[in-house]
Each structure stands twice: as structure tokens, then as C-alpha cells.
Amino acid sequence: MERMIPGTPSRIKRLACKCSQIRHYSAPGNGSIPPAKQKYVPTSGTYPKGFLAGSSHAGVKVSNTQHDDVALVISKQPCVAAGIFTKNIFKAAPVQASLATLIQRQHNGIRGVVVNSGCANAVTGRLGLEHADAMAKEADRCFKDPEHSSSAQDSPQTLVMSTGVIGQQLPIEKITAAIPKAHSALGSTHDHWLDAAKAICTTDTFPKLISRTFSLPSHPEIEYRIAGMTKGAGMIHPNMATLLGIVCTDVSIDPKAITSILRHSANRSFNCISIDGDTSTNDTVTLFANGAATPKGVQPLTLPEDFIQKPRMGNRKLDHYKQSPDMIAFTEVFIAFMTDLAKLVVRDGEGATKFVTIRVISDVNAQVAKRAAMSIARSALVKTALYGKDANWGRILCAVGYAPGIMGSTELPASSPGTGQVTPERTSVSFIPVDGSEVLELLVRGEPQVVDEVRAKQILEMEDLEILVRLEDGADPARLGMTEAAKTFESKVWTCDFSHDYVTINGDYRA
């Protein structure tokens, strides 16, 4: 047998092989924010009256020895609240617990939410449900105001969220011990809110926090405030909200309408983002409204009764219904706020180097435009091409052509026939530079263009990019039996690219 001598080629080869398998997570291990992401972290904020935020360290993950991983966001007085949750069949225990609390309390008498990071408490059986209940009740004990309890005596006043690894039980004693510490740390300053936003992060490279002020037409002299935090960097795709989100406002909202308001806004924001096509077991976005800034005598914001009773009717727009000027103004503010918050998630996509807006226009219906946009956003081939700065527009076109609901499939039957929804001869694809420079046309009405590869690479070097897909280009009004141009429908989806780091991060996720 050959004797192995230190320094021989065989030994060196083995050492090199071993070193090549060492993987490095792209986010700084000390919790610092990468320089490129620091511009997204606010240095100040204006936060809603009557709400407090705090955090503490529980050490949910053994490797976390110093960073806060329990957060508490509460209203000083019980408030109205709503939540929208994952459509994943394997709903995590905190999702089930929060759903039950909102139903039992009829969206009223809620104090806030307690969150832990490091463990998702998902697919954890009966014990997981007991742990979620224990978190809520421990937070309730901190309030020490039983006079505010409603008739639902056994129902907690606190919602619960968890994020992290699926299939592991919570170290519940650590978490329940940390909740009173988070309560003691509650405050209303920017630092309090930012610390809470940091505590709910997992693979996020920066905390996602926004605050804003607004007014309403009926009493413009009153300043209202809205603030929200979210977490998410991977396992992001619509089927509700795709992450954890907490939004608070000091405007007064009717408890019967608050869920419809939240769902309507989420469908135009959080349900328009995708990072990797995976819908989490824990997705939850909540809205809390305590009315602390609303003057006496001003009625809570509400929606038409028929809209409240039928909240899931397609992509109905609120402007089809008679609303108060105040409701119209708040809806505009809320959708814009939720959109900006959702975009931060995409900007922090795991390993992402680009923020991509996909805009699809169709003259068939809004569903066709949304299906095509989402199919492009989910395409690993499109996303890797964007990372490689490769103007491979054929991958974009291919993703449109196989989109569920557009292409018929025996494995995944379309809800409606795809025939006629997309016509190759009327399809165009372009890159839209965000700096306002000239558009780069890649495909025009089914005809490939001679692409300036140098110009394409210049556009793809930019951090932000828009891809425009027109499915109605060259529409013939006469053929459609119309005397004027056909009505068009537009869908926007925000996504990112796939880099080597995405694999590294998720390969090391449980480490």
C-alpha cells in the first residue's frame, strides 16, 4: 500500500476538494447589514399613536447567542385587527391559532401580535398548537388588564407568528421566558420599531420597516400615521401573502370591513411578488387599527356591504362601488404603502442582485395578464439569465406560453381554455431601462429583432429592470367587432434574479 506523505499531490488534491465544499452564506454572520442594502433601512420614522414595539433574546436557534428573536407589537388599548393567511394545506400552528382568535373575537378586542424567529412551529402536531397558544397567553398575561376582555373569555387577545425551520418543535420555555422581557422593552420610538423588525428576520439581510403620515378629506387637519414591518427573503410566492407582515395604523376602521380592506390591498401588493415560487406554511399579514388619532364623532372607515359580503369575487375594483371620500383616500394610501413594503421583500431576495418589474398587457382579461406575469417570475431559466446578464428573451416568451391557464395541460388542467388567450403574432417583448433611456425591443409582434448585445448588457447591469410583455400588440378592432381600440388589462409582478448564493443559502439553511 502506498504510504501517504504530507504534501504529496494526492493529499493536496483531497484538501482542495474538502475546501471547495465549504460554503459561505452571503449575509454577514455578525448580523451587520450589507452596504448595498443599508439605503433601504430607515434612520427615522413617524409611528402610529397608541402602538408600541419591543424585542428580546430567547435563543430559539442554538447558534443565536446574542440577536433578539422575539418581537412584540401591541396597541395600548384593544383594537380591531385582520389577518390574511397562507393557502398552503400544511398551515403552521401559529396560523391556525391566529385564525381562530380573529374568528372568535370577531376582529375586535385584539391587543397585538407576538413573533418568534428561528423556528416556524409548522407541521408540529398538537404540541405545536399548544405552543402557539402558550405564546399568546404569555403575551396576554403581560397586559394585566382583564377588564378589557370580551365575552370570548377563553380566546387570547394576542395573535401569533413564527418563522424559521419547518418540522421542529419550539423551545417553548425559552420563548415564554423572553416574552415578558420583550414587553418590558416596549416603546414608541424609531429604535423600538427597528429592533422589533430586526428580531423577526431569518435569512433577511436587512430589517424591512416603513412609516408614513396621511390625512383624510373630511378632516384634513388631523395627521394619521401608518407603520409596518415585514420579513421574508426566500420561500416567497403568492397564495395569500408569502411572508410575515405587521401593519398598524391609528385610523379607526370598522371591524366588519377590515379583512376586506386588507385582502383588497394585499392582492395588489404582497400577492404580486415572487422570489422562488414556494408558498410558505406560515404566511401571515396582519392589519391593526386602534383609532387613537380619530376625532370623536368621526365614523370608522368602512366598505359597501355587498363588497364585504363577497370579498373574493375575482379582481373587482373598489371604484366600482360607492364609497366615502375618506375610504377612497385611505385605500390609495394603504395600497401604496403595502406595495412599497412588499417590494422590500423582493429587494432582499435570497442571493438576489436585481429587482425586476414584470409588466404584462393583455386585451383578453386581467387573469391572462397575471398568469403570464407570474409564469415569467417563477421561471428559473429567466431568473438565471437575468443574473448572468444574458438577454435570452426566448426564455421569457417560453414562460408565457406554458403558463397555467394559458397552456392546456393534462397534468394541470386549465381552469379555462388557453386557446385565443395569447396569439404569437401579437406578442412583443422589450427591456425597459429604469434610467429613462431608449427601450430595447427584443420581439415585435412575433418577429425577433436584431438585438444589440452590448446595449442589452448595459441594461442588465443595472440593479433595477422592467420587462414589458405585450399580448395585444397589433390588435385589430375590426376583427374584434369594435369601432375603437380594445380594452386592455395590465398586471405587474415584482421578482428578482437567481444567483449562486440562493443555492448556498438554502443548502445551509438548517446550519
231 among annotated binding-site residues: yes
Q: What does the alpha-carbon distance between residue 258 and residue 349 come to, in Å, rounded to a whole number?
A: 29
In sequence order, which residues have a C-beta less than 8 Å from that of residue 74 and are 6 or more positions away?
51, 52, 53, 111, 112, 113, 139, 143, 158, 186
Reading the block at residue 5, the C-alpha cell is 506523505
Would you list the DSSP string of 280-340? PSS-EEEEEE--TTSPTTPPPB---HHHHH-TTSTT--GGGS---HHHHHHHHHHHHHHHH
Considering only CA atoms, which of 467, 508, 511, 505 is closest in space to residue 236? 505
Asked whether residue 506 is marked as a ligand-binding residue, the answer is yes
Amino acid making up residue 108: N
Catalytic site includes residue 242 = yes
Contact partners, residue 341, CB within 8 Å, separation at least 6: 208, 210, 228, 230, 245, 247, 269, 270
Any idea what DSSP says for residue 446?
Answer: T
Alpha-carbon gap, residue 397 to 382, rounded angstroms: 10
For the record, the C-alpha cell of 212 comes out as 408614513
Do 283 and 161 form a contact (C-beta atoms < 8 A)? no
Strands of the sheet containing 428-433, edge to edge, are 447-448, 440-444, 428-433, 464-470, 355-362, 489-496
C-alpha cell at 511: 446550519
Q: Which residues contact 161 (CB under 8 A, 6 or more apart)?
A: 94, 98, 113, 114, 115, 116, 200, 244, 246, 282, 284, 286
Q: Is 242 annotated as a binding residue?
A: yes
Residue 191 main-chain phi, psi, to 5 deg: -65, -35
Amino acid at 490: E
CA 9 distance to own-chain centroid: 51
> Per the annotation, does 202 bind a ligand?
yes
Q: Which residue in the list 176, 242, 294, 357 is annotated as catalytic? A: 242
- CA distances (Å), origin 247, targets 87, 100, 113, 164, 211: 20, 20, 11, 21, 9
* Consecutive H or E run containing 85: strand 70-85
Secondary structure (3-state) at 465: strand
Binding residue numbers for substrate: 202, 231, 242, 350, 506
The residues that are catalytic are 242
